[in-house]
Every structure is written in C-alpha cells, then in structure tokens.
Amino acid sequence: MRFLITGGAGFMGSNFVRFILRNYSDVDVIVYDKLTYAGRKENLHDVWNDRRFSFIKADICDEKTLTQVVKEYEPSVVVNFAAESVTADTIVYVHENGVISVKTIAEFFDELKARYGVLSDGFYEVVEVPSYANIRVLGYYAGMGHWIKVKKITRHPYKGTVVRIRQRWGEVTLTPNHSIYDASLKLTTPTEVAEVLAVRKLNYLPRPINELSINIHNSTLEGEYIRVKRSKCSLKRSFNVKRERDEIKALLKLIAAYIAEGWISYNGLEYSVCITNSDIGWLKDIAKGLELISDSSYDFTLRKDCVWQLHIPSKTLYEFLKHYCGVRARNKRMPNFIYRLPYKLQEFFIEQLVKGDGYIYNYRNVEMFKYTTTSRILAAQLGLLLLIMGKNLTYYIRNKETSCEYDIKITNKYWPLHAKRIEKETLSYEGYVYDIELEHVHNFACGLGFIVVHNTHVDRSINEPSPFLRTNVLGTFVILEVVRKYEVPLFIHLSTDEVYGDLPENASASEDYPLRPSSPYSASKASADLLIQGYRRTYGVPVIIVRPCNNYGPYQYPEKLIPKTIIRALHNRPIPIYGKGDQVRDWLFVEDFCEALDLIVRKGRKGEIYNIPGFNEKRNIDVVKAILKLMNKPLSLIKHVADRPGHDRRYSMVGDKIVALGWKPKTKWIEGLRKTINWYLNNAWWWKPLLTDKYFMSETPWETTIKG
C-alpha cells in the first residue's frame, strides 16, 4: 500500500507516518508538506532515512505539483492532515513612570533582564515584565500611537539575512519573515512592503514638570549650584520652570549648541567645552546666557578657517554635557528631561538646534525646517520630540563612507512618496534578534520614525484566518480534483470535533449531527467536509471523513494546552488558563488515534464519516492540575486569564461507528500524560527552538487583530 500524506510533517500526521512504517513492512509513505509553523522536518527525524519514506516540500494548493506527485507515485491512499524579529540596534521608545527615553532594543532588554531576571534554555531568552511594573513602549492603536504596557521581551541568536527598509517615514531592519504593516494597515513582509505604516500622531499629553533638576556624577551641592570635584566652576542645579524661563533657555541654548557644533576635550591639564560657528553673534548670545547659569569663564578665538570658537574651561560643564549629551558627533543625544518641558521651551530648543546645524527654507509656499545629524539615536529622539509636539516630520538618510547622515524635515504638509526614496537592502547579520509583546495589541513601533511592526501573539485562526481558509478549503478542493481526475482509490480527510460546535452537558454528537462551527478554523474544516460530501455525491469520489477529538502526545506543537503546560511548568512559569478553565474537551493519546485511523484505512466504508472520540472528557483546569501533580509542581503556577472570544464550552462525540470496526482506546489517561511528560522532558532538543514562539509565550493568545 502506498500512502500520500498531505500535511504529514505536523503533530498527528508525523505520528501516523511513524505508526505506519513501524507496523507494516509492505508500505511506502510519501509526505507532502510545505513546512509551516507546526509542520517541521524535525517531526520526522527518525524516519527520514527509511527507504520506504519520501518527502516532498510543496503546498497542497499547488495543483500542478500535486498532480505531478500523484502521477509519479500513484498512491493507493491519500490522507490529508493539512491544517521572527528585529535586530539589536533597532530603536524603541520607552515611557516609565512619566520618564520618556529612547534606546536600542538590546539596551532595553539588558535593563529589564537585570531587573526581573530571564528565562533561558541556553539559546532563547525571555524576560517577563511583572504586571505591577509601569513600563510602556510606543504601540499603534485606533489610528495613532499610544504608550502601551510591556508584557515580555524575547531574544535569540540569529545568523542570516535581514532586510533594511528606508523611506521618508524612517528606517527599520527586520528578519525577512517578520510581519510589517503597510500604509493601508495590511500585514505584509519586509521584502514585499511598498510603503510602511508609521506613527505620526500620538495620543499623549505630557505633564510638564514644575521644577527642572540636573545631576552630575561626583558633584557636590552648593546652594542652588553643583560643582564637580576639583572644578573651579559651578552650574545651576535647579530651575523653576515658570519663574526662570530665561535661565532654562540659556541651558537649552548651551545644550543645542553643543549637540550641533560642539565638542569636549581634556588635554591632561584642562577640561574644555568648545563650540564653533561662523556667526559670532550666535556664540556671544550663548556666552551671555551662560552667565545666568554658571560662573565659568569663556573666551573667543577666530580660527584659521575663518570660523569663530567659543571656549569654556570648565570640568563641571564638561561632565554635564558628557553625561546628558554624549561624546562625538555619532553618539550625540539630547537629555530626556526635554520631553517634559512646556511646549514653548521645546520649540525654542528645536529652533536653537536648527540654528546650529540646519536651516529654514520655503518649499511650495510652505516653511520647512531641516536639521542634519550623524547620530542615529539623536535623530530618533528628535523625531519623538516632534511627534509629542504634534509636528509633521520626514526622514532622509544618506549613506556616507564611514557613517550615515540623517536629515529631519519639519513641516506641516506631506507630499506623495517618491519611488526613488524607497530603499530596501538585504544585509548579512549575526547577533541577537528581538521581539516585544504588549498588552491588548499585537504590534509595537520601533526603528527610526516609529515604524509599526507586527507582534503575533494570538490564536492563529482568530488572528490570521486566511491561511486556514486557504489550506482547509482551497487545499481540499485541489486534492479532490486530483483524486477525481487520476482515480486515486481512497482519499481520507482529517476533520475535527470542533465542526459540531458547543454541546450541552447531556449531549454527544453523532456523525450526522448538524455542523455548527464557531471559529474560523472549525468553519474552514466544516466547509471542507461539505465540499467533500458534494464531490462524493456528484462525482463518486472514494472518500472518508475522519473527525478526531483532541489528541495529545509526542511532537505536539508547544502552543497547545498540554505541551505548553509541561514546558512552562518545567521552567516554573505561570500556566495560563482561559477564564475559569471549565471548558470540557475529550482527550485521546495520539498512538490510539493512529490505530483508529489505520483501521479506517483498511476496513472503513467509503463515503462514511467516522468520529474518533477518546471517551475521556476533562475540564481544562483538571488537565493542568493532573500535569502539575505528575510533575510535582505547585498549583500556584496556575494563572487565570481572560477567555478568548467564541470559546466553546464542551466538545463531545459518539463513537459507535469506529467501535464497530473493532477499535477502542488502549492508553489510560494518566498513563498517556506520563508518557507525554517524559517525552517532552527527554526531547528538549525538539521544543527548545520553539520556546519563544509568540503563541506559546502569550498568556492570552486569542487577542484579535481588531484590538491592534
């Protein structure tokens, strides 16, 4: 007998392949699978070299390839089972207890790791942020940016290609398979996106501070001033925002001038702050303001290049600017306290920056400001400041031999995106890649310009029904057509008990029970069942529909209840339970299912539907408790979370037809659980690469895209 098993690299399919090859010597098995999230070569590692086994990587919706396979192998039975990240230097925008900051995602991960610890298997690392922590990052919701609480951040090593996207909205670098939103709010990939979605409006009204205080390492307080040790000069430490506007403006002038045209140095004898510009009047204005906030001396020098230099010999100012603004042009940054200043002072700071390293011009009767910097972090900081201020902005990034220049244009109008400004580049990358999960939404804004990228942490068929509809309906249609045209002797289609929908406590569904699916997945399976029955009646296609209950056992993907519970319990992580955990499911050990399916292949009646129940109905909460007991783990690991929408309370089936063929389950419930637990404990190599899958890591993976 020759089996063609579509979707055979998944959980149930791979176990059936293993069962057939183990129990029969006169069989050939061809697995046809496109290898998606749950269909993996690793599921078939122990049969890969069996001479009776063949593997074809292809999509069942590809009628041409499927036809070629059927013609070449001439199967006697067709069984249908078919059912990343950003780089370390990616910028994220953080809001914590009123303080706004801009940093790389690697820096953010390290900070959270130091505070809350990390779950690690030596390859994958996950930091779970406690619910009491008020740590937020910029996310996208209802057409604008919001500060949204962080649930967890993950990373793992990656070696391969990444895609860098640059256009007027900004820049972001992602792995090729990381989903990104286009400008019309559709999910796509970095290689396919035409215009990225970026946050350009922020639902945030900052509370300006009344008192601005600065601090410097190794400084002493002298009244309202601070002085660094062994420094002759001091700097005003505290500013009343309402009463001391002139003093704050003087400080902002100094900061803006240093960021735009300044540097600091120490020659072994003297600490110096230097600012250069061709406009001596601008430098004198800075020096005059300095007298309001410091007792530092200063002098002017005309350099050989006809540029004036303001020189301030002060260790205190040297340390202040080094601490708040960085050293060297590529590392310059602005102080975070500017985000909390009143709007007029923020506007004043931007004007001073533009005077130092930018210009104002008129384009199509619109006044525009342009500022240029080689500091990526400063470009991101200024973008966020402009976003908070409600200003429109665009980026233009120019590659130089040793660095990049970031042009930030500030205006009140947008123009259509010019095709030449859309740049995509595939780069080699080796290092960590990261992902962030937020509350209630499945995205976060990152990169230069707040690019909205996808964080998939919802039940797959609820979040992304399209792949399920394509595989279960279109894929089934393609198989039916090939089976019909080439007269394959038998087609067995794997459906699910979910097609019957929610059942009351005293009812169980027989094979002729009305179909009442309640999720995109079960609806797609029911659609396939009806399509098959139509082909059976119209064309006489030799088909059998099989509806199994919940299977469990080796090689089940970690997002499912039992393996998820085992793995999280192993790491002493919370076990999420939807609602009260009173949902009832019928459980069957996968080896027993394989025996039932084998019996149907050999003795089943064509045109029939066979339920395969486990006669073992359990509440989800009781399943989890049984696993924790077997693993000697405390029940305190159980964490009740919000229930998913449309969650059916009970599935139950009658199994008279399959029992009449001579089948009944052999594996007792606790015995099957013990076998499953032991398999996962002894095969960490298989599930460790899947540990940071967002469906596994999320406590509420059903949250819909509508929320985001």
The CATH number that applies at residue 347 is 3.10.28.10
**What confidence tens digit (pLDDT) does each residue in 415-445 have?**
444 444 668 888 888 888 888 888 877 677 8
Residue 243 is classified by DSSP as T
Cβ atoms of residues 226 and 219 within 8 Å: yes
Please give the Cα distance from 472 to 58 (Å, whole number): 15
Least confident of 42-51, 377-386, 647-656, 666-675: 647-656
Together in a domain, 367 and 262? yes
How far, in Å, CA of 374 to CA of 363, rounded? 24
**Is 50 a residue of the active site?**
no
Are the C-beta atoms of residues 317 and 296 closer than 8 Å to each other?
yes
**CA separation for the pair 499, 80 (Å, rounded):** 17
Q: How many CA atoms lie within 13 A of 194 on its CB side?
A: 8
Regarding whether 241 and 166 lie in a shared domain, the answer is no
On the question of pLDDT at 695 being above 50, the answer is: no
Q: Which of 138, 88, 52, 39 is nearest to 435 (CA)?
A: 88
Is there a domain that residue 490 lies in?
no
Q: Burial, 364: exposed, middle or buried (Cβ in 10 Å; 0-12, 13-18, 19+)?
A: exposed
**Between residues 202 and 471, which one has the greater pLDDT?**
202
User: Is 70 exceeded by the pLDDT of residue 470?
Assistant: no
For the chain, how many structural domains are there in total? 2
Question: What is the rounded (10 degree) CA torsion for 285, 289, 295, 296?
Answer: -40
Inside any domain, residue 142: yes
Do the beta carbons of residue 553 and residue 495 sit within 8 Å? no
For residue 37, what is the DSSP state? S
Residue 458 has pLDDT above 60, yes or no: no
The pLDDT value recorded for residue 38 is: 62
Cβ atoms within 10 Å of 660's Cβ, excluding its own: 10
Q: What is the pLDDT at residue 666?
A: 96
Q: In terms of domains, do 239 and 378 share one?
A: yes
Q: What pLDDT is recorded for position 592?
A: 96
Per the CB < 8 A criterion, the answer to whether 686 and 555 are in contact is yes
Q: What is the DSSP letter of 653?
A: B
497 is known as an active-site residue: yes
Q: One-letter amino acid identity for 150? A: V
User: Is 395 in the same domain as 326?
Assistant: yes
Residue that wins the pLDDT comparison between 696 and 546:
546
In a domain, 353, yes or no: yes
* Calpha distance 444→249 (Å, rounded): 34
Specify if 695 maps to a domain: no
> Does 309 map to a domain?
yes
Least-confidence region, from 69-73, 164-168, 542-546: 164-168
Residue tagged active-site, from 319, 498, 586, 699: 498
**279 and 174 housed in the same domain:** no
- Please give the mean pLDDT across all residues of the chain: 84
Question: What is residue 602's predicted lDDT score, i.e. its pLDDT?
Answer: 92
Instruction: Map residue 678 onto helix, strand or coil.
Output: helix
Closest CA to 194 of 185, 205, 183: 183
269: CB partners within 8 A, 6+ apart: none
φ/ψ of residue 17, rounded to 5:
-60, -45
pLDDT for 469 equals 58
Q: Are 410 and 64 in contact (CB under 8 A)?
A: no
**Could you report the per-residue pLDDT of 335-372, keeping only the tens digit for each?**
999 999 999 999 999 999 988 877 777 776 767 788 88
* Catalytic annotation, pick one of 318, 395, 500, 521: 521
User: What is 590-621 written as a DSSP string?
Assistant: HHHHHHHHHHHHHHPPTT-EEEE--S-EEEHH
In this predicted structure, the answer to whether residue 160 has a pLDDT above a threshold of 90 is no
Mean of pLDDT values over 293-312: 91
Contact 397, 166 (CB under 8 A): yes
Q: Which residue has the higher pLDDT, 407 or 283?
A: 283
Are the C-beta atoms of 139 and 439 separated by less than 8 Å?
no
262 domain-assigned: yes
Question: In sequence order, which ranges of 399-439 are alpha helices (DSSP H)?
Answer: none
Query: What letter represents residue 468's amino acid?
Result: F
* Structural domain ending residue among the three candidates 461, 484, 513: 461
Look at residue 119 and tell me if it is in a domain.
yes
Percent of the chain with pLDDT over 70: 88
Do 333 and 378 lie in one domain? The reply is yes
Kindly state whether residues 333 and 247 are assigned to the same domain.
Answer: yes
- What number is the average pLDDT over the span 313-324? 93
**Each residue's pLDDT tens digit, 93-134:** 999 988 999 999 999 999 999 999 987 655 568 888 988 899
pLDDT band at 699 (very low <50, low <70, confident <90, very high): low
Average pLDDT over every residue of 139-148: 87
CA distance 495 to 497: 7
Mean pLDDT of all residues in 231-244 = 89
Are residue 389 and residue 436 in the same domain, yes or no?
Answer: no
Establish whether 498 is a catalytic residue: yes
pLDDT the model gives residue 616? 95
Q: Token pair for residue 27?
A: 């069989």
Structure tokens at 13: 């399919």
Q: Are residues 374 and 234 in the same domain?
A: yes
Indicate whether 235 and 280 sit together in one domain: yes
What's the CATH code of the domain at 445?
Answer: 2.170.16.10
pLDDT digits (tens, 9 = 90+) for 582-638: 989 999 999 999 999 999 999 999 999 999 999 999 999 999 999 999 999 999 999
383-397, 462-476, 564-578: range with highest mean pLDDT: 564-578
Same domain, 262 and 393: yes
Asked if residue 297 and residue 262 are part of one domain, the reply reads yes
Pick the residue with more confidence: 539 or 647? Answer: 539
Q: Which is catalytic among the residues 319, 357, 437, 497?
A: 497
Total residue count of the chain as it appears in this document: 708
Does the residue 388 lie in any domain?
yes
Residue 636: predicted pLDDT:
94
Flag the least confident range among 462-476, 527-541, 571-585, 676-690: 462-476
Question: Beta strand pairing status for 575-578 and 119-120?
Answer: unpaired
Domain span at residue 383? 211-220+230-399
